[in-house]
């Protein structure tokens, strides 16, 4: 294998426990055996502090962020490439979701900050946008990376929201989520996903699909789990990820990714 591409949260980052030393060692050893390592996450660059703390930036500088909408160089601290939602598409996405998800609220993600509606209750980045905006439409003045839709006051969970939004946004945007226990959707430009960004990186690096090892756990990982010839969903992950992956790895809390890497690279 020439490339290991892995999701972060719930795949190698254990909830409440962070990244294990076994996982850090396994990825570093894979690198020493000649493989490149690429993190593929829904997170924006500003949330990658614990990754930098664990691995530094020299060995694994490139990161796929915002579910494939942003390719970022941690070492150079700069954007490599962006795949943004256009202004017309953004207005149409918001209009369709307001019509089909009563009470929905929105936040807008750019590579260094986000803007949220006042009624949108953030779970992360608390304090970054204290005032907020009355409606997200007021802030759609230029293309952006990701739209986040939340149904805080609804009984709908993320899977149920996804079931409603997928046909509504078909052909217009890529819609997914990364937490089935929340009420949250993550929307990117049409055709943009972790898989599309991974394919771009593989082409830049001259690596074939058959030479890539992919790990994930949630619906936002499904495109790259399906795309890769060698893909693993962790046992603790979403049923959709299990169905998409070619193989199953042990759970995240059991260092499942590290276990597979150790076997594949004979560590």
Taking only the tens place, the pLDDT of each residue in 173-217 is 999 999 998 999 999 999 999 999 999 999 999 999 999 999 999
CATH number of the domain bearing residue 170 = 3.30.1240.10
Is 185 in the same domain as 231?
no
Same domain for 103 and 33? no
Paired tokens of 200:
């771009």
Q: Looking at the structure, tell me whether residues 176 and 231 fall in a common domain.
A: no
Does the pLDDT value for residue 127 go beyond 60? no
Domain residue limits at 156: 87-189
Query: pLDDT value at position 126?
Result: 47
Q: Is the pLDDT of residue 135 over 80?
A: yes
Global pTM reads 0.95
Domain end (from 142, 163, 189): 189
Is beta strand 146-150 parallel, antiparallel or unpaired with respect to 105-109?
A: antiparallel
Residue holding tokens 């509504």?
Answer: 168
- The model's pLDDT over 19-31, given as tens digits with 9 standing for 90+, comes to 999 999 999 999 9
Q: For residues 103 and 244, give the distance between their C-alpha atoms in angstroms, rounded to a whole number.
A: 31
Mark whether 184 and 93 lie in a shared domain.
yes
Domain final position from 156, 189, 222: 189
How are beta strands 230-234 and 247-249 bridged, if at all?
Answer: parallel
First and final C-alpha spacing in the chain: 13
Last residue of a domain, one of 165, 189, 213: 189
Long-range contact pairs involving 16-24 (C-beta distance under 8 Å, separation at least 24): 17/253, 18/50, 18/54, 19/50, 19/51, 19/54, 20/255, 20/258, 22/255, 22/258, 23/255, 23/257, 23/258, 24/54, 24/55
Tell me the mean pLDDT in the region 137-161. 93
Q: Say whether pLDDT at 124 is over 70.
A: no
User: How many domains is the chain partitioned into structurally?
Assistant: 2
Mean per-residue pLDDT, 113-127: 76
Per-residue model confidence (pLDDT) at position 122? 74
pLDDT tens per residue across span 212-245: 999 999 999 999 999 999 999 999 999 999 999 9
Residue 47, token pair as written in the block: 């949330």
| % of the chain surpassing 90 pLDDT | 87
> Across the chain, what does the average pLDDT equal?
95
Same domain, 140 and 204: no
Distance, CA of 260 to CA of 9 (rounded, Å): 17
């Amino acid at each position: 294998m020439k490339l290991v591409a892995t999701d972060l949260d719930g795949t190698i980052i254990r909830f409440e426990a962070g990244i294990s030393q076994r996982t850090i060692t396994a990825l570093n050893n894979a690198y020493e055996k000649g493989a490149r390592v690429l993190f593929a996450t829904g997170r924006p660059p500003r949330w990658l502090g614990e990754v930098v703390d664990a691995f530094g930036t020299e060995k694994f500088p490139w990161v796929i962020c915002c579910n494939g909408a942003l390719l970022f160089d941690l070492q150079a601290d700069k954007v490599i490439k962006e795949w943004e939602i256009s202004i017309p598409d953004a207005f149409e996405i918001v209009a369709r979701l307001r019509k089909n998800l009563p009470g929905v609220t929105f936040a807008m993600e750019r590579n260094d900050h986000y803007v949220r509606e006042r009624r949108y209750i953030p779970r992360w980045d608390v304090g970054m946008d204290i005032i907020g905006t009355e409606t997200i439409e007021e802030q759609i003045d230029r293309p952006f990376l990701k739209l986040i839709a939340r149904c805080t006051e609804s009984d709908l969970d993320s899977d149920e929201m996804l079931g409603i939004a997928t046909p509504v946004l078909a052909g217009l945007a890529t819609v997914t989520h990364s937490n089935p226990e929340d009420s949250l959707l993550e929307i990117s430009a049409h055709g943009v996903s972790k898989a599309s960004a991974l394919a771009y990186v593989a082409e830049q690096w001259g690596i074939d699909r058959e030479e890539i090892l992919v790990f994930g756990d949630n619906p936002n990982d499904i495109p790259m789990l399906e795309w890769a010839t060698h893909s693993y969903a962790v046992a603790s992950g979403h049923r959709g990820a299990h169905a998409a992956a070619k193989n199953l790895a042990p759970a995240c809390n059991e260092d499942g990714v590290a276990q597979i890497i150790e076997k594949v690279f004979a560590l």
